[in-house]
Amino acid sequence: MQVTIETTSNLERRLTVGLPAQQVDGEVDNRLQQAAKNVRLPGFRPGKVPMKVMRQRFGANVRQEVLGEVVSRSFQEAVTQEKLRPAGEPVFEPKNMDEGKDIQYVATFEVFPEVELSDMQGFAIERPVAAVKEDDVDRVIESFRKAQGEWEEVDRAAEQGDKVNIDYVGRRGDEAFEGGSAEAQDLELGSGSMIPGFEEGIIGLRAGVEKTLSLTFPDSYHQEELQGAAVEFAITLNRVTALKLAEVNSELFAKYGVSDGGEEKFRQEIGENMRRELKNAIDGKVKEQVMDAVVNAHESLELPKALVDSEISSMRGQMFQQFGGGASKDLDLDTLLPNEMFAENAERRVRLGLVLAEYVSRNEIKADEDRVREAIEEMASTYETPQEVIDYYYSDSQQLASVESKVLEDLVVEKLLAGAAIIEKECSYQDAVAR
């Protein structure tokens, strides 16, 4: 095998590979001879088809199959021989593939960049400092009571937070406009689901009252023809309902997984979950700052376009699936979700991946078994049957690898934090867990 390399840019390489004709022709003959033992053709006894006929009938297809395998295999051997690390798939350009002649092709591809790790000693990190207090637990219980509460009709004026049932007709001048009318529509006051002034105009009204609201659509409204338009809504209030909170009792406790121990146990469980959430939120915010610092310290690192394009494709696919796109096979994703939507984040991910991989290699960091099991057990602790979750992770190599990858990242973060300037900032539980 003859190999020559041309450097066409910092990361792009052009590899020319030459192979003796016999490497392909000999393999084609071998396969045809093996096939001839079993092939059945009219006019010939089984196993007695002449090689001339085999070549005429099957030679072209077999040769294409062999060429594909030989090119793929020889390319891998060539990059190994030349100590190259391809980033992404190569583009093959055949130069000579004729039967009886030496084979030659050109493979163009990018290689992984050489990563020079920057000195990150002393970079600043802000760590939130917060605690779970009793009134924080009270707020969570209040949200549970609302979630399990019931709407009851009330004989009073509508207030913020109430749910009203209304009929309305929207007019622009003397004409009703499309999408501006409804009958018996439920609306929660304070939800912000209507244009500014609509919900506020209903507060203070009682069932059976009619009112006309003079409003203006926002300039940024999604219907272009209504942007900035002055309109009137004739509203009839049919019904006012208020949310009756669920009682703090055994029925409520059971709905959130506490079957015994009463309110004390209920509050204890909530507190433990909140403290777990608080720790994860703080760790996440610190980790994000560390990753930002890593990316900023290595902005000059040139990225292989193939890796960025692959990451964009992956991100686009994930978003498409999140919005139920699997049901629509004919959509043009490049138009619906253009590269520009993902380019910045894709470049960040690729840059981060390259730098972290080099950092792990240089520092010989490994995800030890104890840390991996600790991480799995922590995730499993939030489920009713933790052991089943643990067994699931250890029985699925892909899921286990994802945990190992996270543990590896956490170990890198810990090592980098050892050289960081950490500024502790006290804050409330709500601020600490806010995204």
62-105 pLDDT tens trace: 888 999 999 999 999 999 999 999 999 999 999 988 888 999 99
pLDDT of 331 higher than 70: no
Give the Cα separation of 411 and 368 in Å (integer). Answer: 10
Model confidence over 197-244: pLDDT tens digits?
999 999 999 999 999 999 999 999 999 999 999 999 999 999 999 999
Q: Which residue has the tokens 């051997």?
A: 77
In this structure, the number of other CB atoms found within 10 A of the CB of residue 224 comes to 6
Give the Cα separation of 22 and 102 in Å (integer). Answer: 8
Model confidence over 253-281: pLDDT tens digits?
999 989 899 999 999 999 999 999 999 99
In the predicted model, what is the mean pLDDT of residues 356-380?
Answer: 94
What's the residue count for the chain? 435
pLDDT of 350 higher than 90: yes
In the predicted model, what is the mean pLDDT of residues 350-366?
Answer: 95
pLDDT band at 190 (very low <50, low <70, confident <90, very high): very high
Cβ neighbors of 378 (< 8 A, separation 6 or more) are: none
Closest by Cα among 114, 85, 103 to 13: 85
What the block records as the tokens of 381 is 């602790």
Cβ neighbors of 100 (< 8 A, separation 6 or more) are: 21, 25
What the block records as the tokens of 399 is 């899921």
In the predicted model, what is the mean pLDDT of residues 183-209?
Answer: 96
Strand-pair partners of 105? 17, 94
What the block records as the tokens of 254 is 């059971």
C-alpha neighbours within 13 Å on the C-beta side of residue 386:
10
CA distances from 199 to 92, 144, 185, 236, 317 (A): 63, 25, 13, 13, 38
pLDDT of 329 higher than 70: no
Q: Residue 165 has what pLDDT?
A: 98
What the block records as the tokens of 289 is 């700052």
Contact 138, 434 (CB under 8 A): no
Closest by Cα among 435, 93, 136 to 272: 136
Contact 120, 362 (CB under 8 A): no
Closest by Cα among 53, 89, 88 to 71: 89
pLDDT band at 335 (very low <50, low <70, confident <90, very high): confident
AA letter at 209: V
Model confidence over 290-299: pLDDT tens digits?
999 999 999 9
In the predicted model, what is the mean pLDDT of residues 175-179?
Answer: 92
Contact 257, 411 (CB under 8 A): no
Q: Residue 330 has what pLDDT?
A: 61
- Burial pattern 124-147, b for ≥16 Cβ within 10 A else e, equals ebebbebebeeebbeebbeebbee
pLDDT of 7 higher than 90: yes
Which domains can be identified in the chain, with CATH numbers?
Answer: 2-111 (3.30.70.1050), 150-244 (3.10.50.40), 262-324+334-433 (1.10.3120)
pLDDT of 326 higher than 70: no
Give the Cα separation of 163 and 182 in Å (integer). Answer: 16
